[in-house]
A and B are shown apart, each in its own frame.
Chain A
Amino acid sequence: MTDPSFPFEYLSNYLIIGAALMALGMLGFLSRRNLIVMFLSAEMMLQGVALTLVGFSRYHGNWTGQVFTIVMLTVAASEAALALALILVLFHRIRSLDVTLWQDLRETGLPESVDTSGAEPYEPVPGPESYPHLTPSGVEPPHPRQPWEQRRG
């Protein structure tokens, strides 16, 4: 053991938390539909990797894991730059961040993998779904209004 102040048990602390962040990030990536949240979930997977690397780096007593983490941060930053550019362009095109709208390319004859037609109308209930309701004031603007609940984003 290089460093008696960091035995295997401490390493496994870091590995377990890293694995948990990795698995939860994967869960988010697979289940969420908002492009931005999907990307954030992928970044959270990277956080799990970073914890793993730092734990190993300390355990083995060399810098390599930390260097790896720095490189990873840089790569993640480049990917974030591209992701944001891409997300903005996509939003400009379809006015939505919904990833399931992008399924024109698929096997012929198969239905859309996520069927959104059965979505129930939005009914605010008390709780986390609801927003504070403010009394509208002033003159109603002249533009044609469509309730935002009926838009797909």
Chain B
Amino acid sequence: MIPDQSETLSRTILVLLPEIVLALSAAAIMVAGPFFRRGRSLWAGLSAAAIGASLLALLAVSGSGTDAFAYGSVALNDALSVYGRFAFLITGLILLGLAHNQVGDDRAAEFFGALLFVISGAMLVCAANELIFLFVGLELVSIPTYLLLYLPRRNRTTQEATTKYFFLSVFSSALLLFGFAYLYGLTGVSNLKALAFLMGGGGEVITTGTAAIGSIAVVFVTAGLGFRVAAVPFHFYAPDVYQGAPTVITALLAWIPKGIGFVAMIRVLTSVVSVGEPMLSERAVFLAWLIAAATLILGNTVALVQTNLKRLFAYSSIAHAGYLMVGVAAAFARVEDPANLGPYSGAEGIVFYLAAYALMTLGAFGVILYLEGSGERAETIDDLSGLSRTRPLLSLAMALCLFSLAGVPPLAGFWGKFFIFASAWTAEPIQGIPSLQLLAVIGVINAAIGAYYYLRIVAAIYYGTPARSPAAESRSAAGWPTAMAVGTCAVLSLILGLIPGPLQSASRRAAVAAIGQPAPGTSGPEGEDETETDDVALVRPRPVR
């Protein structure tokens, strides 16, 4: 039976319980802020409790399937949604640990409330199955982000960073919306699973206008999301904003917009385009090919000459957007049978890479934050030189994160790069555009270039001479939540590198779920045969108007 609207709605609300918990706590914290004169530790603790409660709620609802509602509901509970939301909650906890002492008491409630809103927006994006819902999820991330950028410090640099980010984000929202409008116009449904199903339906669905209208949609959605993930040619704001923002917000900007940008690309673009019109898919691959190559080359080469740590990480994050775009290019390639992906799929590589990227980049920024928190300078590479003498454990964590970013074998970053390049390498060649194998080769060369500047930092940490006086080591520690967050990132990078199996199977399931199309009107993945769908296809009687 086709589930009726109220049942769909109540099931969707159930599925979205974690976000609801988080958003309500955030609203409560923001409202309570002006009335209770407490220090920031209370608000940080409450936020941690809210994330914990949301995590519990996510575990509780994780078993509840939504396949029966896939074509009618605004949110899904498939593997991509569950794992993505889990990842954003965990990284949210890490970010909270990094941020716990980064804001003055007077702004703490608003700051932590906004942080919770950002996390819940990111989770909504993971779960979203509808264009409008996805868009409000994206906005629920960006609007609190402006607040987070602005609140901790109000000097001229921060204001400049906020202004740049705000205006470009508004601009990119407009581009994204234009793309969404055309995506909606392709068939007239805004439900993403239904859109993918119709596009894959062939027959009369694909008409003369599909390629033209679809190309507009792909170009503009890629442009709008390209701003969020900082891909060339929409990267130019990233170094300035990263440098000007408070470090903890830089960490947040390096991870959350990039994460949701790519998750949204998987949800909106690759799942729809790769099953649809072949010509559209070819154009999309070509577009992603160009963006990926340009992003990789620009990010890595410009990062070579940077000395400011935050700018260096900004260019490194641009380069990582390039690796992920390689995965997007592979994921755009046409999939004949959504139920049967090849041995390596682009979406799988993207999900794996995102998880690894989150850990390593948050860990690296966490080390910088830890140093700043204990009163040391950590602005340029030279400031880090000789760090291993004074802080061996912290240096080890930094080295692990940097090796992982560089893609050195036994670490998580290596496997991420491996899966992405493997998916590009095994993709079917398409006539008329440069092959994806060439893109994979460009990626490998760039990974080698990228290793240089990461290893330069590691070399400075272990072999450089400390510039500061040894007395500095008697400085106070930065607080246990920061240390714990850094430790978690480094250890998880190592563990996931040594045992990539679970994460790999999880990302596999997420990729399959993202592109999979449950049989319409049935409740389980088993109901594939046509007789059931025929039975179900009876449309509800239309009331007479």
- Touch between A and B in complex, CB under 8 Å? yes
- Contact partner of B159 (CB less than 8 A), chosen from A59, A79, A93, is A93
Residues of B within 8 A of A107 (CB): 239
Contact flag A104-B143 (CB < 8 Å), given A72-B177, A83-B170, A86-B166:
no
Give chain B nearest CB distance to A3 CB in angstroms: 12
- Contact partner of B243 (CB less than 8 A), chosen from A52, A75, A83, A105, is A105
Cα A8 to Cα B159 in complex, Å, equals 47
Q: Which of B117-125, B130-138, B381-389, B438-446 lies at the interface?
A: B130-138
Contact call B184/A106, Cβ cutoff below 8 A = no
Residues of B within 8 A of A52 (CB): 178, 181-182, 185
Residues of B within 8 A of A49 (CB): 174, 177-178, 181
CB neighbors of B among A76-133 (8 A):
78-79, 82-83, 86, 89-90, 93, 99, 102-108
**Size bracket of the A interface:** 35 or more
Closest to A103 in B: B160
Contact call A42/B132, Cβ cutoff below 8 A = no
Closest to A106 in B: B240
Cα A64 to Cα B130 in complex, Å, equals 11
CB neighbors of B among A36-91 (8 A):
38-39, 42, 45-46, 48-49, 52-53, 55-56, 59-62, 64-65, 67-68, 71-72, 75, 78-79, 82-83, 86, 89-90
Give chain B nearest CB distance to A44 CB in angstroms: 9
Contact call B243/A45, Cβ cutoff below 8 A = no
User: Count the B residues whose beta carbon is within 8 Å of the partner chain — how many?
Assistant: 41
Give chain A nearest CB distance to B227 CB in angstroms: 13
Q: Is B188 an interface residue (CB 8 A)?
A: yes
Closest to B185 in A: A56
Contact call B132/A67, Cβ cutoff below 8 A = yes
Residues of B within 8 A of A93 (CB): 156, 159
Residues of B within 8 A of A39 (CB): 167, 170
Interface string of B156-191 (1 = CB under 8 A from A): 110111111011001101110110111011011110
Contact flag A60-B173 (CB < 8 Å), given A52-B178, A79-B143:
no
Cα A102 to Cα B178 in complex, Å, equals 28
Contact call A42/B170, Cβ cutoff below 8 A = yes
Cα A2 to Cα B163 in complex, Å, equals 45
Residues of A within 8 A of B181 (CB): 18, 49, 52-53, 56, 65, 68
Contact call A104/B132, Cβ cutoff below 8 A = no
Closest to A29 in B: B171
Contact call A105/B143, Cβ cutoff below 8 A = no
Contact flag A82-B166 (CB < 8 Å), given A53-B181, A56-B184, A60-B188:
yes
A-B contact pairs, 27 of them (CB 8 A): A8-B209, A22-B174, A35-B167, A42-B167, A42-B174, A49-B177, A53-B184, A56-B181, A59-B188, A60-B187, A64-B189, A68-B181, A68-B184, A71-B135, A72-B135, A72-B177, A75-B135, A78-B143, A79-B170, A90-B163, A99-B163, A102-B160, A102-B164, A104-B157, A105-B164, A105-B240, A107-B239
Chain B residues proximal to chain A, CB less than 8 Å:
131-132, 135-136, 139, 143, 146, 150, 156-157, 159-164, 166-167, 170-171, 173-175, 177-178, 180-182, 184-185, 187-190, 209, 239-241, 243-244, 308
Q: Which 10 pairs, one residue from A and one from B, show the smallest C-beta to C-beta distance?
A: A60-B188, A45-B174, A105-B240, A56-B185, A52-B181, A102-B160, A49-B177, A64-B190, A105-B244, A42-B170
